[in-house]
């Protein structure tokens, strides 16, 4: 199975990235977590992205707030799919990061999830990798069935009266 990279723009992004890591662990997906900055470590970020496919990564999830250039910088240096997670980190409630992450130029796409949407970024990463991994696809199907049962049970409980 290909690995997922979780790239944090700052250690302050760790609580949101941990939500992604928890999903990846639940699905037994290998991952690495690193802190890199589009602005403070641009060469290291570009090198990581440029070597991502050769190093066994199938998807990269980038977590960043404020200007949130990290996902775009990574996407500019790799053909590996990139998922951006905008982080609340300013007086603008994460809207600045959301707009920075989602507004990529044509040909350099970044899939973008909700502000602080670390868990959904991991679920999307799993779906991307499951396209070529039947075992992972089966795990996702099992998780979907579990979620369905949970909702049905909650519905049953509220209708007992």
On whether the pTM is more than 0.75, the answer is: yes
What is residue 161's predicted lDDT score, i.e. its pLDDT? 64
Read off φ and ψ for residue 45, nearest 5 degrees: -65, -45
DSSP states along 122-139: HHHHHHHHHTT-HHHHHH
Residue spans per domain, the chain:
3-133
Sheet holding 111-112, edge to edge: 31-35, 3-8, 57-65, 82-87, 111-112
Which pair of tokens denotes residue 148? Answer: 């369905």
- Three-class SS state of 119: helix
Q: What is the Cα 105 distance to its own chain's centre?
A: 20
What is the CATH number assigned to the segment(s) 3-133?
3.40.50.1970
- The whole-number pLDDT of residue 87 equals 97
Instruction: Output the pLDDT for position 91.
Output: 82
- The helix/strand/coil state of 105 is coil
pLDDT for res 136: 98
Taking only the tens of pLDDT, the chain with its 161 residues reads 999 999 999 999 999 999 999 999 999 999 999 999 999 999 999 999 999 999 999 999 999 999 899 999 999 999 999 999 999 987 899 999 999 999 999 999 999 999 999 999 999 999 999 999 999 999 999 999 999 999 999 999 998 86
């Amino acid at each position: 199975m290909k690995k997922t990279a979780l790239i944090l723009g700052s250690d302050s992004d760790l609580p949101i990235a941990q939500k992604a890591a928890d999903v990846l662990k639940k699905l037994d997906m290998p991952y690495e977590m690193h802190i890199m900055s589009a602005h403070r470590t641009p060469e290291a970020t570009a090198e990581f992205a440029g070597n991502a496919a050769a190093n066994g990564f199938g998807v990269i999830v980038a977590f960043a707030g404020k200007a949130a250039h990290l996902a775009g910088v990574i996407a500019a240096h790799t053909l590996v799919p990139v998922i951006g997670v905008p982080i609340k980190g300013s007086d603008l409630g994460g809207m600045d990061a959301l707009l920075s992450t989602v507004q990529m130029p044509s040909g350099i796409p970044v899939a973008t999830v909700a502000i602080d949407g670390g868990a959904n970024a991991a679920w999307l990463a799993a779906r991307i990798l499951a396209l070529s991994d039947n075992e992972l696809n089966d795990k996702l199907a099992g998780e979907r069935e579990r979620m369905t049962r949970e909702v049905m049970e909650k519905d049953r409980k509220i209708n007992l009266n």
